[in-house]
């Protein structure tokens, strides 16, 4: 695919103010560092698949079943690793509803046992040993699933579930915007949607960490994102047919305004949390003071020497006042 290059004076270049804005990290899909192992283990089970065609009907069935169960176990394991990565990426998170890695380990051991079955005395016992060893190695390789909630102490579970529903709905709006903008086949527009999604997800994370902020952010997670999705779909329908530059400029201005508002709302919620913390500290200080406990006040920051009067001051005078020359 061709990539468009341009500079400051190229046609259609961005305004200088916009070009100087700091780049925001575009959040991608969260991956676990061990996901690649599931692919290699699935590939290692290919001999079951190939060897099935050189067996009798019973051997063919067991080999095919063994490979299928092993592949299913690796699929469950991959899903479990992705759920664990999402769990680790958040400061406040619920444990996965389904222990996918546990089920993946069971399926892996079962697949190895089924694939290792051969007619003969003691065949089932040997296959069982292989299956148990496979499940144990799976446990040591991928570890257990997260089994408890993280950072949920003191948070109303009903309110947290309500936040989860709103965030899921908001993520759906962002996904619809991303799918719609792909029709333009313009990498600049795709990157613009991803940057906006990154700012919006910052607000999502803020609300997830403090469900009490949902009331203040509810319109942003619902009405505003729904409007952004509808505007994006209509813009794409028009732009694909006409390549209208004015329509593109209007849409980009809308996304920029929304991005600014989302960032401002996130900062506002963070400042509100700081104010709440300061109030709690002052209340605690007052209570301790009433109990007769003296709490030391934080030391004020040292002030730098100032120039007095309207006259100028030489560097030697400043060094003399600060005592730098005496220390030398």
The predicted structure's pLDDT at residue 161: 75
Please check whether residue 213 is in contact with residue 207, taking contact to mean a CB–CB distance below 8 angstroms.
yes
Question: At 117, is the secondary structure helix, strand, or coil?
Answer: coil
Helix intervals (H) in the chain: 16-19, 35-44, 46-51, 57-89, 100-115, 123-142, 157-181, 187-209, 214-219, 225-242, 245-290, 315-321, 324-327
Q: How far is CA 32 from the centre of its chain?
A: 12
155 Cβ contact list (under 8 Å, min separation 6)? 92, 211
Nearest-5° Cα angle at 42, 37 to 43 = 100
Distances (CA, A) of 222 to 157, 170, 205: 21, 6, 15
Task: Please give the span between the terminal C-alpha atoms of the chain, in angstroms, as a whole number.
Answer: 65
pTM: 0.56
Q: Categorise residue 28: left if φ over 0, alpha if ψ from -120 to 50, beta otherwise.
A: beta
How many CB atoms are located within 10 Å of the residue 123 CB? Answer: 12
Residue appearing with tokens 């996965």: 96
The predicted structure's pLDDT at residue 206: 83
Task: Walk along the chain (328 residues) and give the pLDDT tens digit of each residue.
Answer: 444 444 444 444 444 434 433 334 444 567 788 888 899 999 998 988 888 888 888 888 888 999 999 999 999 999 999 888 888 877 767 788 889 999 999 999 999 999 888 766 566 788 888 999 999 999 999 998 988 877 666 666 777 777 778 888 888 889 999 999 999 888 889 999 999 998 888 888 888 777 777 777 788 888 888 888 998 999 999 888 888 888 899 999 988 888 988 888 888 887 755 555 555 556 555 555 666 655 555 555 555 555 444 444 444 554 455 454 444 4
Nearest Cα to 94, choosing from 169, 29, 147, 166? 147
Nearest Cα to 189, choosing from 240, 241, 225? 240
The predicted structure's pLDDT at residue 69: 94
The predicted structure's pLDDT at residue 135: 92
The predicted structure's pLDDT at residue 1: 43
Torsion sign over Cα 292, 296, 298, 304: positive
The predicted structure's pLDDT at residue 15: 44
CA 202 – CA 107 distance, rounded (Å): 38
- Joined tokens for residue 188: 């600049």
Domain ranges of the chain: 35-142, 155-290
Nearest Cα to 87, choosing from 26, 25, 144? 144
């Amino acid at each position: 695919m061709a990539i468009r290059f341009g500079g400051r004076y190229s046609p259609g270049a961005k305004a200088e103010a916009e070009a100087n804005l700091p780049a925001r990290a575009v959040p991608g899909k969260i991956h676990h560092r061990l996901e690649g192992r599931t692919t290699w283990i699935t590939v290692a089970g290919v001999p079951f698949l190939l060897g099935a065609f050189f067996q009798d009907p019973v051997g063919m069935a067991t080999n095919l079943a063994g490979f299928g169960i092993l592949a299913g176990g690796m699929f469950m394991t991959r899903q479990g690793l992705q759920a664990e990565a999402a769990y680790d990426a958040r400061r406040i998170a619920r444990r996965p509803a389904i222990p996918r890695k546990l089920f993946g380990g069971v399926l892996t051991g079962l697949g190895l046992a089924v694939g290792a079955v051969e007619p003969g005395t003691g065949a089932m016992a040997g296959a069982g040993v292989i299956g148990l060893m496979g499940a144990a190695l799976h446990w040591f390789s991928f570890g257990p699933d997260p089994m408890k909630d993280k950072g949920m102490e003191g948070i109303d579970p009903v309110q947290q579930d309500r936040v989860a529903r709103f965030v899921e709905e908001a993520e759906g709006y962002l996904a619809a915007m991303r799918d719609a903008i792909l029709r333009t086949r313009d990498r600049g527009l795709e990157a613009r949607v991803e940057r906006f999604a990154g700012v919006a997800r910052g607000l999502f994370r803020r609300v997830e960490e403090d469900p009490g902020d949902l009331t203040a952010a509810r319109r942003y997670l619902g009405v505003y994102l729904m409007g952004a999705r509808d505007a994006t779909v209509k813009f794409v329908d028009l732009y694909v047919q006409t390549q209208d530059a004015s329509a593109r400029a209007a849409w980009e201005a809308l996304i920029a305004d929304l991005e600014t508002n989302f960032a401002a709302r996130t900062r506002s919620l963070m400042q509100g949390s700081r104010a709440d913390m300061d109030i709690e500290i002052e209340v605690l200080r007052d209570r301790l003071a009433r109990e007769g406990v003296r709490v030391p006040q934080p030391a004020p920051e040292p002030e730098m020497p100032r120039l007095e009067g309207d006259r100028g001051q030489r560097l030697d005078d400043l060094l003399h006042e600060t005592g730098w020359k005496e220390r030398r």
